[in-house]
Amino acid sequence: MNERDSLHAAQLGLGDMDPAEFRAAAHRVADMAADYLERVESYPVLPDIEPGSVRAQVPAVPPSGPESLETILADYLSLVEPNITHWQHPGWMAYFCSVASGPGILGEWLAATLNSNVMLWRNAPASTEIEEVVVQWLREMMGLPTDFDGMFTDTASVSTLLSVVAARHAVPGLDARDEGLAGREGLGRLRLYCSSETHSSIEKAAIVAGIGRAGVRAIPVDEAFAMRAELLGEAIREDRQAGRIPVCAVATLGTTSTTSVDPVAEIARICRDEKLWLHVDAAYAGAAALASEMRPLLSGWEHADSIVVNPHKWLFTPFDASLLLFKNPELYREAFSLVPEYLSVRQTDEVHNFHEYGIQLGRRFRALKLWFMIRYFGAKGMADRIRESCRLAARLRNWIEETPDWEMLAPTPFSTLCLRFRPAALDPDRDLELLNTMNERIMSTVNASGKIFLSHTMLHGAYTIRVTLGNPRATEKHVALCWSVLQDAAAGAGA
């Protein structure tokens, strides 16, 4: 049979795929998805390919006529599936995990099927209200007070940007929304405060919000990589005296490098005294609050004006989903709302018209996958999975601490470890470069094994291997595998 014979009649007309063909294809795709999840561990986490090698196998020009679904799916199986880095693989222990759970995937499929654009209630009534419900469920599951409202965005970067712009709008007399910032005589430099360990998304928000990189004041951290809050108060006072305009402070709960925890209660107190907006970046570690016994670590975040938690990080939600919580929704609406005539509807306080609270008009129906997941696993089931990641991290930490020639380089408050190989004969200061080369080599060997994928950071000049846990498909067997692959790599690293 040639390609044209296997085309479906609908492909030769002007309409969409017909429902019967869609149904048959969807069954096949469901099998392909299940097959992938079943066999993901048989792939090396990182594919062994060179840049450009996938593109070289795809025609440079689009097909002018239709191709059969057979051919498309066959190419997907041979070209795409094996040549991705496998985020779903239980050996993925790099950066932070971003895992799509089964019920989350199902919710994502149906959200794509409905194609509901959650801009205004009239155009998305059930989707808007499910989003409202899921935001409140998650708030409740994290033990945060009822004075937080919120919504979903795509990423923490965008949730933070919206909050920095809302904070800027809250500065009395600034009115950057209408007046802009350029060409305003006598206007002092805007300031954003964060720690030197803060994620780059905070600096990007400052770039976009007109604060600029020079307006970001990085407060030094202590030996546990947490912000030295006493220096924050001093910095704000000094800036005010110099005519600068503080816009907001950002505290991070779970920094990207070491998952350190800024002293958010103290930072909140300073922000309250200084009447300064506090944004909390809990993109990774906010999920820990699902386990009530871990909440003391985050204590004080309830005083923030805005918080970001990424379900697509440690809450096994298919990418993307970032939860933005805020206390004063009206400020976001004042900062962003522009309602052209074609979008004007009778205003009601009963429901949100979500497009008014941010930059995007069109918005994906992200809440559906979380609604499926929370109901499928239950709030306790989700909390237990967070606990399990922490238990596995503590187990690995024990193994490392009990083994000569290995050391931990930072505390492990959640499910991420910072470690290195340091043979007793080597001096951490004198032999720093040699240690760095060895540990870099160890990590490359681990990643080349295909079994485990790790990433790194630099701590006080020391090359540091990071191991993060957070995939509900990863068990103690995988953590033990990680540890043995690390040890084997160290044995071959010229120790």
**Residue-wise burial string across 257-287, b where 16 or more C-beta atoms lie within 10 A, e elsewhere:** bbbbbbbbebbbbbbeebebbbbbbbbbbbb
Per CB under 6 A, 98 contacts ligand PLP: no
Stretch in the footprint of ligand PLP (CB under 6 A) among 11-19, 80-88, 250-258, 339-347: 250-258
Stretch in the footprint of ligand PLP (CB under 6 A) among 149-157, 361-369, 408-416, 484-492: 149-157
Q: How far is the CB of 210 from ligand PLP (least distance, A)?
A: 20
Comparing CB distances to ligand PLP, the nearer of 115 and 200 is 200
Give me 467's structure tokens.
């191991």
Comparing CB distances to ligand PLP, the nearer of 108 and 281 is 281
Per CB under 6 A, 260 contacts ligand PLP: no
Q: How many residues bind ligand PLP (CB under 6 A)?
A: 15
Stretch in the footprint of ligand PLP (CB under 6 A) among 12-20, 251-259, 374-382, 424-432: 251-259
Per CB under 6 A, 226 contacts ligand PLP: no
Among residues 71, 85, 136, 155, the one that binds ligand PLP under rule CB under 6 A? 155
Q: How far is the CB of 384 from ligand PLP (least distance, A)?
A: 23
Comparing CB distances to ligand PLP, the nearer of 422 and 456 is 456
Comparing CB distances to ligand PLP, the nearer of 283 and 315 is 283
Q: How far is the CB of 262 from ligand PLP (least distance, A)?
A: 11
Q: How far is the CB of 479 from ligand PLP (least distance, A)?
A: 21
Per CB under 6 A, 252 contacts ligand PLP: yes
Site map 273..312 versus ligand PLP, x via CB under 6 A: --------x-xx-------------------------x--
The crossing angle, in degrees rounded to 10, of helices 102-114 and 367-402 is 150
Give me 413's structure tokens.
């408050």
Per CB under 6 A, 120 contacts ligand PLP: no
Per CB under 6 A, 153 contacts ligand PLP: no
Comparing CB distances to ligand PLP, the nearer of 156 and 216 is 156
Comparing CB distances to ligand PLP, the nearer of 161 and 490 is 161
Q: How far is the CB of 313 from ligand PLP (least distance, A)?
A: 7
Q: How far is the CB of 359 from ligand PLP (least distance, A)?
A: 14
The answer to whether 290 and 383 are in contact (CB under 8 A) is: yes
Comparing CB distances to ligand PLP, the nearer of 127 and 256 is 256
Comparing CB distances to ligand PLP, the nearer of 123 and 155 is 155
Per CB under 6 A, 157 contacts ligand PLP: yes
Comparing CB distances to ligand PLP, the nearer of 64 and 200 is 200
Q: How far is the CB of 312 from ligand PLP (least distance, A)?
A: 7
C-alpha to C-alpha distance for 55 and 254, rounded to whole angstroms: 37
Among residues 128, 163, 256, 416, the one that binds ligand PLP under rule CB under 6 A? 256
**Residue-wise burial string across 422-437, b where 16 or more C-beta atoms lie within 10 A, e elsewhere:** bbeeeeeeeeeeebbe
C-alpha to C-alpha distance for 128 and 290, rounded to whole angstroms: 24
Among residues 45, 105, 111, 156, the one that binds ligand PLP under rule CB under 6 A? 156
Per CB under 6 A, 250 contacts ligand PLP: no
Site map 317..336 versus ligand PLP, x via CB under 6 A: -----x--------------
C-alpha to C-alpha distance for 286 and 413, rounded to whole angstroms: 12
Per CB under 6 A, 199 contacts ligand PLP: yes
Interacting residues toward ligand PLP by CB under 6 A: 96, 155-157, 199, 201, 252, 254-256, 281, 283-284, 310, 322
